[in-house]
Chains A and B, each alone.
Chain A
Amino acid sequence: MPDLQLQDILVKPGKKEILRLEQLTLKESEIYAIVGPSGSGKSTFLKVINLLVKPVQGKMHFFGQELSLPHLSGSSRLMVQREMAFVAQKPVMFQTTVFENVAMGLRYRGIDRPTIQKRVDEALEQVGLLESAGQAAHTLSGGEAQRVALARALVLQPKLLLLDEPTSNLDPKNVSIFEQVTRNIHQTFQTTILIVTHHLHQARRLASHCLFIHEGKLVEMADTDSFFQTPKAEDLKAFLSGQMVY
């Protein structure tokens, strides 16, 4: 049984198809980068996996569980969602302290207070914001807020970490910190990571495999070296060379 497999996924909220995937298998403990033009369905792809977008058809095998995505019960949805963490492009900071923002997911799970204290402190230390624990989260800079969002994901120790263009609004220093923490999470917890990015260099630096999504379809998937050095699809060649018109 594969660790994460998507089958016959179709996202079609109106008349237009947003995403169609016939079959996709992802291995445990790997980092996958998803690239493609804007509006090609990359974020929708992550949201389907995170059960935030409901497809009209399709199945997902998630670490041993088979899920029929359009007919998922509330309890199954919650159980699977609690095995993942999602970091959005523009992080939402709740109107409370940095500590409480990071602790939120643990509180939803009913984790005891000493464990929450320990895990939140560790996560904040990893992202370099332990001293800001008592600060109001909405007063943070964009880079700091994104690091808090990563700590909020890290503290959950997820099997699968989904990152949706997490560094697109960050300066180089914060990009570097974010990437280093992402690597640490991967090494420490053997977490499977999917990162949507517009920065091809970032995909090269972080990922072991890359996926190219275009017009709602998975066009190509390969290990990172082959993906960049010997792309097969004409659309991917045009995209990598910056000549794609869209």
Chain B
Amino acid sequence: MNWMPFSQDVISVILLSLQVSTIAIMIGVLIGIPFGSFLGLYTFPGKRLLTAVIYTLMGLPPVLIGVVVYLLLSKHGPLGSLQWLFTPQAMMVAQTILVTPIIIGLSMAAVQAKEQTYLETIKSLGATPVQTVWTIIKESRKGIWAGVATAYGRAISEVGAVMLVGGNIEGHTRVMTTAIILETRMGNFDAALQLGAVLLFISFILNNLLVMGILADFRSRRRRES
């Protein structure tokens, strides 16, 4: 492989990493934010157990996810007919399983952090249950965004699951983390460190966006207090 900075190989690995993690996050957001907000807003029998399960899943080891997805997608597994094993789709499935509980759990916490008076005000204005959830999501967006950024960071930096279900195939399923492992094993520490720097840079950009959101909130609070 050509590991010169911005070579075609490096760019394709970076793009595949971003593609896999971004699609996994988008699916996680579509499932996780409404579900987490619903859990944060409403009480029902079994909620405590469900919450405990979600918190447990937030700490799922990526390797375990990798094994489960591998078995599901393997030739004789229940989803073997899809023929997704060792494809980017399999990596997306694994990362979606990894990030969705994080987005659910942190969205739930962000919504629960809103005072009861928010919910009462929204209901008293005549909102339907769907309008209520949507308004609360908008009001809790900073906390929810922090959850999404956390999940993105975990997805793009994990290695166990994508290695198992993707196979680290050059030009096909090789992403930044699996490339770092490969180069380290081969003794190419420069290339491994370069890719590590790119990973850090992406993490910096994501967290910078988050910090900008927090700063905007801080400034508006200062204005309110003055």
Chain A contact residues, CB within 8 Å of chain B: 47, 50-52, 74, 78, 81-82, 84-86, 88, 90-92, 94-95, 104-105, 108-109, 136, 138-139, 152, 156
A108 to B126, CA, bound (A): 7
Report the minimum CB–CB distance from B217 to chain A (whole Å): 9
Which residues of B111-148 have CB atoms within 8 Å of chain A's CB atoms? 115, 117-118, 120-121, 123-129, 131, 135, 138-139, 141
Check B120 against A52 for contact (C-beta < 8 Å).
Answer: yes
Which of A84, A95, A109 lies at the interface centre, i.e. has the most chain B CB atoms within 10 A of its CB? A95
Question: With A90-B117, A138-B224, A139-B220 as given contacts, are A84 and B124 in contact (CB-CB < 8 Å)?
Answer: yes
A-B contact list, 22 entries, CB within 8 Å: A47-B120, A52-B120, A52-B124, A74-B129, A81-B126, A86-B120, A86-B124, A88-B117, A88-B120, A88-B121, A90-B117, A95-B138, A95-B139, A95-B141, A104-B135, A105-B125, A108-B127, A108-B131, A138-B220, A138-B224, A139-B220, A156-B125
User: A50, A74, A136: which contacts B124 (Cβ < 8 A)?
Assistant: A50
- B185 interface residue per 8 A CB criterion: no
B131: A residues at CB distance < 8 A = 108
Check B121 against A81 for contact (C-beta < 8 Å).
Answer: no
A136: B residues at CB distance < 8 A = 220
Check B128 against A78 for contact (C-beta < 8 Å).
Answer: yes
B223: A residues at CB distance < 8 A = 139
A161 to B128, CA, bound (A): 20
Interface size class of B (residues with CB under 8 A): 20 to 34
A108: B residues at CB distance < 8 A = 125-128, 131
User: Closest chain B residue to A82 by CB distance?
Assistant: B126
Check A81 against B124 for contact (C-beta < 8 Å).
Answer: yes
Which residues of B57-91 have CB atoms within 8 Å of chain A's CB atoms? none
A94 to B131, CA, bound (A): 14
A31 to B141, CA, bound (A): 39
A15 to B205, CA, bound (A): 53
Pairs of residues from A and B, 5 with the lowest C-beta to C-beta distance, nearest first: A86-B124, A105-B125, A82-B126, A92-B121, A108-B127
A156 to B121, CA, bound (A): 14
Check A156 against B126 for contact (C-beta < 8 Å).
Answer: yes
A47: B residues at CB distance < 8 A = 120
A221 to B190, CA, bound (A): 84
A104 to B117, CA, bound (A): 16
User: A52, A91, A94: which contacts B123 (Cβ < 8 A)?
Assistant: A52
A221 to B224, CA, bound (A): 41
A82 to B124, CA, bound (A): 8
Report the minimum CB–CB distance from B160 to chain A (whole Å): 39
